[in-house]
Structures are given as structure tokens and as C-alpha cells.
Chain A
Amino acid sequence: MWAHLKIELYKIFRRPRTYLAFAAITALIGVIQLGLLVDGKEYTSFVMADFTSSFAVDGKILNGYFICYVILQLLLVHVPLLIALIAADMISGEANMGTLRLLLTKPQSRTAIVTAKFLASVIYTLLLLIWIAVMGLFVSMLIFGTDDLFLMKSSYVVIVKESDVFWRYAGAFCFAALAMLTVTSLAFFLSFFAENSIGPIVATMSIIIVFTILSTMNIPIFNIIKPYLFTSHMITWKEFFDFKVNDANEAIVGSIQYPEKIIRSASILLIHIIGFAGTAILLFRKKDILS
């Protein structure tokens, strides 16, 4: 399977569209960083307008940690498209080119072949996330420096001590990996049903857009189904940036406000990954290959 995985990775990284995704991320992050470097004060004064009418905030709010948070908030909504471009093409692309039957003539089990394909798209997704971490976190830290992380939630403010931030990003990126792998496995699963890659790419994005809209709308009837939508759990990475306070309202450094929420969301996403990928592998084993 290792040999086949290498072949699949070779196929992925031979395609220009793979690099298009990395270029798109570089450009997007670059644009955000440039915008905040030039006019970041305007942005923060807009977001903090209500808060600063009563409080004076002193310190370097626009630091690398804050920029990375803004980037993650904006990008993790759009990255699924870049993931779907590759993952949704894994099986349907072969079917479209008519190479699927040829591929299955190899002296390897179908399970090994399709698992290698899935693992290759997982590696692509993780590399994309690592690239986001490099560009979004490390480059932002280089450009903007570091300080405490000042975050405005919808009804309260969290200031995370500088020394307490980095491990939270490590956790957030690990969680984001789970969220993005859910998209990968969904796109991979849909790829099984199509003879060309456009269909599963559009289908993946449509599902994510519809689910995200349903997750965002605060309407009672949608609130019932929200916990069952995987998109509601994809944003739980933010929970890493909220900590507990004791009875005297003193911050407990190194704590997480709702660790159980992270565990629950991570489990739900993991179940989705196993469900989508497992079903795709099972179905592929019995697929009648005609193309």
C-alpha cells in the first residue's frame, strides 16, 4: 500500500491545481496580513467600538496571535473548497479519464488501493493546514510580533496571556485538522458516485454552504438540527481560546472553559470521517467498475 500511496501522492502533486490551492492560501493570508498591517487599527476600532466607549485598552492588540485568529476565522470557511478540489477528484477523476479499470488490474486489493487514495488526500489536507499554520501563525508572528491575545466574543472579552497562547494554537490546528478531514472524507465519499470531478466538488461545497447557513441562523426550528450538522462542530477550535475563571474571577492559566465541548465535537467529526471514508472503502470494494 505504501508504494501505491506514493503513486497517489505523486499524482496529486503533479497537478497544477494542487499548487493553486497553496498559492490561493498564500495570497489570501498575504492580503489579510497586508490589510491589517496597513489599516489594522481601523479594523480593531470598528470591532471594539462598543467596548472602547467604556474601557481604555492598552497594549499591542494587533499582534501575530490575533492576526492568526482572524485568518483562521476567515479561512476555515473557504478552505473546504480547496480540499474538495483534490479529494472529490480522487475516484471520480480516475473514472473520468477511464483509468479506474486499469488501476484495479494491479495485483493489490481494492481496499488497499482506495485506502491509499484516501490517505493521499488526507496528507494533502494536512499539508494545506500546515501551510496555513506557517503562513498564518509563524509569518504573522514574524511581521506583527507577539503579545497577549485579545479576543472579543459575542458577549464577553477574553485576554489570553502570551505565554498561554501557543499550546492553544497547537490544539486549535489539531482540531482544525479533524474539521478539514471531515470535508476530505465527505468529498472522497461523494467522489465515489460520480464519473467526473465537477459533480462531487460542487456537491461537497453545496452541503457545506447549506449546513453552514443553517448553523449560523439563530432560528428555533434550525436550532433543533444544529447539533447534528457537522459544520456546527467544525468551529469548535475556538474553544481552545477560552479559559476558566475561579470564584474571584481570576483566570486559571492553562485551562479550557469547555473541554467537554471540544471532546464531543472532535468525536462527532471523527465519527463523520470514519463513516464517510469507511462507507466509501466498503462501497468501492463492491463497485461494478465500468470506466
Chain B
Amino acid sequence: MYKELSKKILFTIALLISLSAVSWAQDMNALVAKVKAKLDLVNDYTADGRMKTDVAFIKAPIGTVKVFYKKPNRFRLQRNGGISVLPKGGVSINIGNLILTSGFVAIDAGTATIGNVKTRMVKLLPSGDNNEVILSTLYIDEANLLIMKSVTTTRENGTYEMEMSYGKFASYGLPDKVFFSFNAKDYKLPKGITLEFDDTDKAVKDKMKGKKGRVEISYTSYEINKGIADSVFK
């Protein structure tokens, strides 16, 4: 009799736990859907900004860029003159396609503080087997429905992080600053090609050794929902 009762209690506890997990997952799906709905207010935008590339083995000046976005996931970053270097795979990453549009499971992963903002960590697992994105973790400011940070692991292009800070365009979910960090693979060219005979560049390299690659874009202005021709993205 006692044995049977304890079995029933255990079963009830297990049922409650799984039910609560389902309800949490539903909550997370709802939260993600709310953030998505906010971002959906933006059909397209053009933004001007300043881009800084911070990679151990790249010395590049700060340049001005123009960014074009059109729903659902068309994105182009254009440097206003000059040569730009961007990590592959991260080029098309923007706030609009941080959230997987469909076919994912949202799991609550607790809370974390980004800057001074308390955020909810949500892990997005794609349900399909062939997605480029394997796992995406979003740090969502629940009060303002803003994505403060994301960590995305891809099949081909490694893991990259995006951290956002918001200002006057927060109502559209568009950041003032985006910090994009990634694992930069070192490269080497034979000295025979470059005709360099000494190792004076070693000191420069050592200075940045072990640092992650970072691209920082500070947006100075946005033009939202003014319409962009498809030809811009060709």
C-alpha cells in the first residue's frame, strides 16, 4: 500500500515537472514571438554608421558605412569608399535575422546581466537537421523587448557574438551600436612573396595575440520604412 502511494506521488511530481517545462517553453516561445513582432514593425531601413575592425592581424582605419535592410532577411553593408574587411558568415548577420523565423524550440536558460540590464537567456534550437545555425542564445531585455546580446553557433562559420546597445531607435528594436565578435583564424604568407626579411611584425602580432576578432558599428542615423529598391541588394 505504502509502495503504491509513493509510486503515485513520484508519477505526479514527474508529470508536474514536465508540464511546467512545457509551459516555460511556451512562455519562451511567446517572449521570442513578442520580440519578433516588435522587429516586424520595420519593413526596411537605411542606416549610416562608423565601422571599426579590430582583428589581431588586420590594421585598418575606421571607415564610414551605409547599411541597407529589407524584410525578411536582405542585408547589405556598403563602405562609403575604401576597402572593407568583414568576417565571412557574419556579413549578413543583423538584428532582423537573429531570431529564427520558424521551426525552432525556445528553451529558458535562466537570467544574465548585460551591462546594467537584467536579461532572460533563451536558447533557440532549430528543429530541422540542415539549418546553418546549430544553436542560438538570445539575451532578451523582457521589459523593453530588446535583444541585448546573441551567441550564434553555425555549421560553417564557427561561433560569433553580437552585443547591442540601444538609444533613440529602441522603439523599433534597432541598436545604436553593434559589437560583433568572432574567432579569427591566423594567417601567414611566405616571406618570399612579401619580400620581408625580418621579424619586426612579431611585436605587433604579439600585442594582440589571443584577442577575439571584433567589428564595431556605431550607427549615427536610421531611415526607417522609407522603401528600398531591390536593386540595392544585387
Contact = CB atoms under 8 A, between A and B. Distances in A.
Given A50-B187, A56-B88, A159-B61, A153 B82 contact: no
Interface of B: 52, 54-62, 78-79, 81-88, 91, 184-198, 200-202, 204-205, 208
A261 B200 contact: yes
Contacts of A102: none
9 contacts: A55-B88, A56-B85, A56-B87, A56-B88, A59-B83, A148-B82, A162-B82, A242-B59, A251-B61
A61 B62 contact: no
A39 interface: no
Contacts of B192: 216
Given A152-B189, A159-B60, A253-B61, A215 B197 contact: yes
Contacts of A10: none
A61 B84 CA distance: 10
A232 B198 CA distance: 9
Contact of B196 (A153, A160, A161): A153
A141 B113 CA distance: 52
A153 B187 contact: no
Contacts of B85: 55-58, 157, 159
Interface of A: 47, 50-51, 53-61, 73, 147-148, 150, 152-162, 164, 215-216, 218, 226, 232, 235, 238, 242-243, 245, 248-251, 253, 257-258, 261
A150 B201 contact: no
Contacts of B81: 147, 162
Nearest to A261: B200
B191 A218 contact: yes
Contacts of B61: 148, 159-161, 164, 250-251, 253
Given A55-B85, A59-B83, A61-B83, A152 B201 contact: no
Given A159-B60, A235-B197, A153 B79 contact: no
A248 B56 CA distance: 11
A100 B229 CA distance: 78
A249 B192 CA distance: 27
Contact of A58 (B52, B62, B83, B202): B83
Contacts of B57: 155-157
Given A55-B85, A251-B59, A154 B208 contact: no
Contact of A156 (B59, B82, B88, B91): B59
Contacts of A249: 54-55, 59, 208
A162 B60 CA distance: 12
B194 A153 contact: yes
A250 B194 contact: no
A259 B195 CA distance: 19
A50 B201 contact: no
The 4 A-B residue pairs whose C-beta atoms are closest, nearest first, are A59-B83, A156-B57, A251-B61, A159-B60
Given A159-B61, A226-B197, A257-B204, A58 B191 contact: no
Contacts of A50: 187-189
A232 B188 contact: no
Contact of B59 (A47, A147, A157, A226): A157
Contact of A56 (B78, B91, B189): B91
